[in-house]
């Protein structure tokens, strides 16, 4: 086994140019979701990963702090979900793990968070979460979204995290459906 003392997540080459074109205030949740869905769609079109995109936006000035796409197959790292990448990018850009220290920030993701990404939301300091496609849309494409409690939205709200679902759901779900029908890699361990 080869030993490494560092892990680097590299974003696809197309992403810097793509995100730069969106570097204007993202005022409404629909504008924000349009970018998250566009990232998910472009990731599929470029063949650089799974059908998921996410962004982090600072509420006070509507500026983009981080963006991510799913790079699980590209990086061979199961943690490289779009939400985790966007959170990591925003934390690196702000120089700290607590995104809330920069003021209220919102995570906008093209699909309802899986169990892992759900867990990362409160720990990252995010104060708002919006998603497009639902869990069942991802599962219909073949993805295993993991276990979350029935009251997961309420649990986040009890922690002061605002939630909003089904934002541009049809557009976000269409990316998942296309990916599933086109034979895209579905990455999760084989069950015994």
Q: Which residue from 33, 92, 34, 44 is spatially nearest to 70, judged by alpha carbons? A: 44
Tokens of 100: 């809330």
HEC profile of 22-62: CCCCCCCHHHHHHHHHHHHHHHHHCCCCCCCEEEEEECCCC
Tokens of 180: 């599933």
| E-assigned strand segments in 122-189 | 128-133, 162-164
Calpha distance 165→129 (Å, rounded) = 8
Instruction: Choose, from 30, 59, 83, 150, the residue flagged as catalytic.
Output: 83
Q: Is 83 a catalytic residue?
A: yes
In sequence order, what are the residues at sequence separation of 6 or more whose Cβ sits closer than 8 angstroms to the Cβ of residue 128? 59, 104, 105, 106, 107, 161, 162, 163, 164
Hey, which residues are catalytic here?
Answer: 83
């Amino acid at each position: 086994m080869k030993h490494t003392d560092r892990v680097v997540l590299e974003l696809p080459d197309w992403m810097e140019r793509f995100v730069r074109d969106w570097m204007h205030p993202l005022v409404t949740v629909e504008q924000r979701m349009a970018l998250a869905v566009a990232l998910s769609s472009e990731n599929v079109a470029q063949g650089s990963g799974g059908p998921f995109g996410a962004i982090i936006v600072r509420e006070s000035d509507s500026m983009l702090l981080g963006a991510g796409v799913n790079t699980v197959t590209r990086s061979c790292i199961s943690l490289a979900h779009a939400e985790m990448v966007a959170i990591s990018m925003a934390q690196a850009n702000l120089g700290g793990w607590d995104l809330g220290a920069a003021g209220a920030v919102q995570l906008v993701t093209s699909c309802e968070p899986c169990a892992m990404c759900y867990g990362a939301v409160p720990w990252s300091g995010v104060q708002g979460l919006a998603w497009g496609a639902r869990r069942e849309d991802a599962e219909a494409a073949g993805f295993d979204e993991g276990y979350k409690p029935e009251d997961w939205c309420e649990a986040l709200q009890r922690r002061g995290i605002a939630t909003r679902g089904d934002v541009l759901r049809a557009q976000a779900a269409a990316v998942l459906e296309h990916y599933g029908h086109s034979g895209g890699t579905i990455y999760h361990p084989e069950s015994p």
